[in-house]
Amino acid sequence: MKKRILFAAALCLAALSLISCGKSKKPAGNLPAYLDENRPLEERVEDALSRMTVEEKVALTHAHSKFSSAGVPRLGIPEVWCTDGPHGIRAEVLWDEWEQAGWTSDSCTAFPALTALAASWDPELARLYGTVIGEEARYRKKDVLLGPGVNIYRTPLCGRNFEYMGEDPYLSGQMVVPYVQGVQTNNVAACVKHYALNNQETDRFFYNVTIDDRALYEIYLPAFRAAVQEGGAWAIMGSYNLYKGQWNCHNQYLLNDILKGEWGFDGVVISDWGGVHDTDQAITNGLDMEFGTWTNGLTMGKTNAYDNYFLAEPYLEKIRSGAVGTTELDEKARRILRLIFRTNMNPEHKTGKFTSPEHYAAARKIGSEGIVLLKNEGGLLPIRSDVKKIVVVGENAVKMMTVGGGSSSLKAQHEISPLDGIREAFPQAEVVFERGYVGDAGGEYNGVSTGQDLRESRSAAKLIADAVAAAQAADCVIYIGGLNKSEGQDAEGADRTALGLPYGQDAVIEALAAANPKLVVVNISGNAVAMPWVDKVPAIVQDWYLGSEAGHSLADVLSGAVNPSGKLPFTFPVALLDGPVRTPEQFPGVPGDDRRPIFSDVLVPILEENYSEGIYVGYRWFEKQQIAPLFPFGHGLSYTTFAYGEPKVSKSTMTAGGTVTVSVPVTNSGSVAGAEVVQFYVADPECSVDRPVKELKGFSKVFLAPGDTKTVSVTLDKSALSFFDAGKHAWVAEPGRFEVLVGSSSADIRGQVSLELR
């Protein structure tokens, strides 16, 4: 706090010394350009750069606390303050420690995890999400929000999948752009992460990815590219892993050639905390700002050791000795200054909001619209309003989920549990709770505690017996289980070891299904799970980590106050080996010949990981292999039904520079108002190279009252028909016939239409 006050004072003094003389103010024209908010951004940047010393420029490029980097006090240029994370603004920690700072004003609004946002398939909700979380960041005086994450869902074992936006690059790209734009309307930079090929937590500091360029460009880069070129992201975070033998926080091909070269990115590249390993590569290979944890940014050592960072004193020593010049330094400083003038020194002077009623309303809406109704036989859902007795079973009905999971862990002002939400939604009913199983009795992460005591003395058999006894007399049974944010489940730092539910939950569900046919299973997770009991349960709901309003969002859907409209952003396999990642060489990698010092002077073998499945990730793989999934990509039911008419194209042929509009009438053929996500896939049956059966290239969410019909349309151009030709290093669309398939999921195609590219 003292350093923030000093920077504010320096800024005032710098401005006053330049605009004040005696009792009168000099005209604004006498301000140096960098302090004149009416000057163009680039003019301000270049003016500030020209006034800085080499030492001041280097100071910009590395951290000087856990979450901040130095400004230029002499010039009144403030620090850059970063914050985790993509789902809410992290609690304050001490200057040089991870322990809590003990603030009483840093309890935030916890928003739904990004899997829930992706499951809404609603770009306008993504814009709302970005806007409200950006307001919370600005209120807390943060300049960079370390999120959103758009790494592709490659395997359901990845511990951080809950932070990302699913398996499809087009869906991720369409959802990340408005999120980024919403955040940045508050003068807060969105830092899109983790760039790139960061699809596991196992050995995350030392695995090297081998992948062909076509898969890189078609699957793993499009969402990042959209965030940069369409969203205008001001920051990108590098990832821990290696690609082409270089760590991705200083990777020539990813950062200089692609990000800054091909895409024209003009923002800052920020390292993940401890992701920097070499001064020379950090200087030349595209990194702009180094952040870390301990001495040298990664390993345990000195406190307040920021001068030892790779881009700190070692960088200065190389400049002073003549080993390197200052061309790269000027470019880094230029980008950092651009960031500062876009955020803290932006002339719009946004103030933000924090834990407002509007923010909680947004969290509740995003959560309810992201919930996916997977199965609903016999119309068990929504639960009738006159139900007399509801039995709720499962630890996740009461366990707080905002604490834990890694860097996205939050100190929430409040968190409504599913059990409390159900009790509030059904005040006339007797709502009985049974634990059913014991998962994780803990509730503490990084000094933030839930305050819950979930210790249990009953045996597993007794817990099941008690739950069954209660369920037998119920009008409706709601089982609420799934995963949690403990290590080895949905959490940073470790991956899952199996697809199945932990803690013996399958046995609990089987027993409840035998005891009462009116069973609803609610799975809370950020990943697919195995469901061996799927045929015995009439209703299944895919819930997510929904933050502060979790219980309200779920109860809204269970009660019918909100008609579910979410669609799966990733495929649920029946079994783990049904998916594309099947061998140790694919995941988590096997030791190679390369050994490097990472945590200490001891040489550690770099794991080699081969993305040999190429472009066949998610539904692309299942369709190519003709393997039926448990639930397909894009699947999600409603309490009403939708009838699709015949799709049409605006013209049957398209030139390389033209567009075609594909439209389809959709009718709410049921009795309840609701929203449908209409999905448009493109197939290329005549292509000279191997292509997926079909690929998502458009979607639109439409709300319809009973009996209403609306025409839903998307416009396709050449890019929607293209594949990446690695030999030409270019996107190619071959002339010929294409099919556009329109449906309610990747497996539920309602119609198709042909067009020809000339």
DSSP track, 468-515: HHHHHT-SEEEEEEE--SSTTSS-TT---S-SS-STTHHHHHHHHHHH
Q: Which amino acid is at 645?
A: G
State the first-to-last Cα distance of the chain, in angstroms, to the nearest integer: 63
pLDDT over threshold 60, residue 28: no
- Would you state the torsion angle of the CA atoms of residues 85, 87, 89, 91, taken in this order, to the nearest 10 degrees? -80
| CA atoms within 13 A of residue 708's CA, in its CB half-sphere | 14
Distances (CA, A) of 348 to 99, 184, 481: 34, 12, 46
Nearest alpha-carbon partner for 486 in 556, 423, 417, 403 = 403
In this prediction, residue 97 carries a pLDDT of 83
Query: Residue 442's pLDDT band (boundaries 50, 70, 90)?
Result: confident
CA angle 542, 558, 365 (to 5 degrees): 75
Confidence grade of residue 301 (pLDDT, cut at 50, 70, 90): low
> What's the pLDDT tens digit per position in 571-597?
999 999 999 999 999 999 999 999 998
Q: Report the candidate in 199, 141, 130, 171 with the shortest Cα–Cα distance to residue 579.
A: 199
pLDDT 10s digits, 651-704: 999 998 999 999 999 999 999 999 999 999 999 999 999 999 999 999 999 999
Looking at residues 275-303, what average pLDDT do you find?
Answer: 82
- Tell me the Cα Rg of the chain: 27
Sort 527 into a burial class: Cβ within 10 Å, 0-12 / 13-18 / 19+: buried
Both tokens of 393, joined, read 């079973």
- 254 pLDDT exceeds 70? yes
Could you tell me which of 417, 401, 562 has the C-alpha nearest to residue 490? 401
Q: pLDDT tens digits, residue range 704-742?
A: 999 999 999 999 999 999 999 999 999 999 999 999 999
Residues 6+ apart with CB under 8 A from 323: none
Q: Mean pLDDT across the chain, nearest whole number?
A: 94
Instruction: For residues 200-229, give the mean pLDDT.
Output: 97
pLDDT of residue 7: 43
Cis peptide leading into residue 148 (ω within 30°)? yes
pLDDT at 14 over 60: no
pLDDT in tens, 98-131: 889 999 999 999 999 999 999 999 999 999 999 9
Beta bridge partners of 445: 448
pLDDT tens sequence across 49-72: 999 999 999 999 999 999 999 999
What are 149's two structure tokens? 């994450």
The whole-number pLDDT of residue 598 equals 76
Contact 400, 450 (CB under 8 A): yes
| CB contact at 8 A, 297 and 276 | yes
The confidence score (pLDDT) of residue 298 equals 54
pLDDT exceeds 70 at position 302 = no
Task: Say what the pLDDT of residue 6 is.
Answer: 41
CB 359 within 8 A of CB 109: yes
Indicate the helix (H) or strand (E) that contains 236.
strand 235-238
User: Has residue 384 got a pLDDT over 70?
Assistant: yes
The torsion angles phi and psi of 25, rounded to 5 degrees, stand at: -95, 140
Over residues 346-372, the mean pLDDT reads 97
Tell me what pLDDT residue 296 has.
54
Residue 304 has pLDDT above 70, yes or no: no
Q: Is 178 helix (H, G, I), strand (E, B) or coil?
A: helix
Asked if pLDDT for residue 19 goes beyond 80, the answer is no
pLDDT band per the 50, 70, 90 thresholds, residue 26: very low
pLDDT tens digit string along 492-535? Answer: 999 999 999 999 999 999 999 999 999 999 999 999 999 999 99
Reading the block at residue 128, the tokens are: 């709302």
535 is catalytic: no
Residues near 718 by Cβ (< 8 Å), separated by ≥ 6?
A: 654, 656, 657, 658, 733, 757
Q: What is the pLDDT of residue 294?
A: 66
pLDDT at 295 over 90: no
Tell me whether strands 189-195 and 144-145 are parallel, antiparallel or unpaired. parallel
Angle at CA 270, nearest 5°, toward 268 and 272?
165
Give the separation between CA 319 and CA 328, rounded to whole angstroms: 11
**Token pair for 606:** 């770099």
- Given a cut of 80, whether residue 22 has pLDDT beyond it is no
Q: What band does 550 get if pLDDT is binned at 50, 70 and 90?
A: very high
Is residue 117 within 8 Å of 129, Cβ to Cβ? yes
Q: Would the pLDDT of 608 be above 50?
A: yes
Q: Can you list the domains of the chain with their CATH numbers? A: 35-342 (3.20.20.300), 389-549 (3.40.50.1700), 640-757 (2.60.40.10)
pLDDT of residue 15: 42
**For the chain, what percent of residues have pLDDT higher than 70?**
94
Give me the mean pLDDT over the 324-332 stretch.
98
Q: Which of 291, 299, 298, 241 is nearest to 269 (CA)?
A: 291
The whole-number pLDDT of residue 597 equals: 84
Q: Which residue has the tokens 């807060």?
A: 188
Q: Range with the lowest mean pLDDT among 143-157, 221-235, 291-305, 453-467?
A: 291-305
Strands 590-597, 695-704: pairing kind? unpaired
**How many Cβ atoms sit within 10 Å of the Cβ of residue 338?**
20
Alpha-carbon span 247 to 251, nearest angstrom: 6
pLDDT at 305: 84
Cis peptide before 635 (omega within 30 of 0): no
Catalytically annotated residue among 143, 203, 272, 578: 272
Higher pLDDT: 11 or 555? It is: 555
Place of tokens 């003016």: 47
